[in-house]
A and B are shown apart, each in its own frame.
Chain A
Amino acid sequence: QMQLVQSGPEVKKPGTSVKVSCKASGFTFSSSEIQWVRQARGQRLEWMGWIVVGSGTTNFAQKFQERVTITRDLATSTAYMELSSLTSEDTAVFYCAAGGSYSDFDYWGQGTLVTVSS
């Protein structure tokens, strides 16, 4: 059974960074692509970027390009999203998602709440 399990909630101060993990199981991680999506409270879903796990190739939304890093660890089947220079606008739930037979977002992690507060 395909599953994405994300790391727990974080509280960060403005100007710092956060790193969220997404552990995959039930599918061939090295053959997948992992997406990252941000959702502020009551707001729409925003695509942040993705990684082609096998090659490590990444692509980012222009809005986040300067601040986001997406990496992966093949040994542990885990993808990571690091967001720097946090502001209160980054208080949100961050989701990872993986493609499958139908779309690039067939499977989703449970979400990780990041709160940015001084």
Chain B
Amino acid sequence: EIVLTQSPATLSLSPGERATLSCRASQSVSAYLAWFQQKPGQAPRLLIYDVSNRATGIPARFSGSGSGTDFTLTISSLEPEDFAVYYCQHRSTWPLSWTFGQGTKVEIK
């Protein structure tokens, strides 16, 4: 089973700063790597799918990149509404299953 490890656990930044979140897989994964945002008391929301594609309505300040075992979510300039927990996710095709990372909390410094 592929394990996703996110770092850092917590990122303390100010509005306007750049956020760089890492997701490392225990072995090379396919292009199915997604990122979700979750705010307190809310369901997760899809931000990025297939490594680098933004879902509908997601601002351009969010971008995804990476390949193999190392993936990155970048928020170019933090807005107040971006302070949340972010999860990466991978789909394995055999056996068919989905795995989430443990999350990175982006908090206001």
- Using a CB–CB cutoff of 8 Å, the interface residues on chain A facing chain B are 35, 44-47, 59, 61, 95, 102-106, 108-111
Summed over the interface, the residue pairs from A and B with CB atoms below 8 Å come to a total of: 51
Overall SS of chain A's interface: loop
Report Cα–Cα, A106/B32, bound state, in Å.
Answer: 14
Interchain CA distance A108-B55 in the complex, whole Å: 14
B46 contacts A103, CB within 8 Å?
yes
Given A102-B53, A103-B49, residue A59 in contact with residue B96 (CB < 8 A): yes
Q: Which residues of B contact A (CB under 8 A)?
A: 32, 34, 36, 38, 43-46, 49-50, 53, 55-56, 87, 89, 91, 95-103
Given A103-B34, A105-B44, check contact A47 B102 (CB 8 Å): no
A103 cross-chain contacts in B, Cβ below 8 A = 32, 34, 46, 49-50, 55
